[in-house]
Amino acid sequence: MARYTEYSFPAPARAFVVRLVRSGDQVQGTVRQIEAEDDPEAYYPSEEMPAAEALQLAQSRLEGQDAGQAVYVELEPGVEWDPSWGTLTR
């Protein structure tokens, strides 16, 4: 099962962050990669997609990078973690 870490500023350079938001009755996600400095104004997120797809995209992009990196998850207000997505460490 996939493991994720709850996002807190600043995230380490080159980490992937999945932002989960409520859109109607669904949870949608975008994926961004942190540059050298975690500047919330200086990133280009992916298009919105279903949460499970966004999490899988971040995991697949993480493969091949340095061991020890994690995918971070930013839960917007109104979004609750779904255990079917994996394990979220807070």
pLDDT one-digit tens code per residue, 38-60: 555 555 667 899 999 999 999 98
Asked whether residue 35 carries a pLDDT value surpassing 80, the answer given is no
The Cα 13–Cα 5 span in angstroms is 15
Determine the pLDDT at residue 44. 60
Per-residue pLDDT band for 37 (boundaries 50, 70, 90) equals low
Strand partners, 30: 19
CA diameter of the chain: 37
Asked whether residue 6 carries a pLDDT value surpassing 80, the answer given is yes
Q: Hey, where are the domains in the chain? A: 3-81
Helices (H), 1-90: 51-62
Residues 9-33: pLDDT tens digits? 888 877 899 999 999 999 999 998 8
Name the pTM for this structure: 0.86
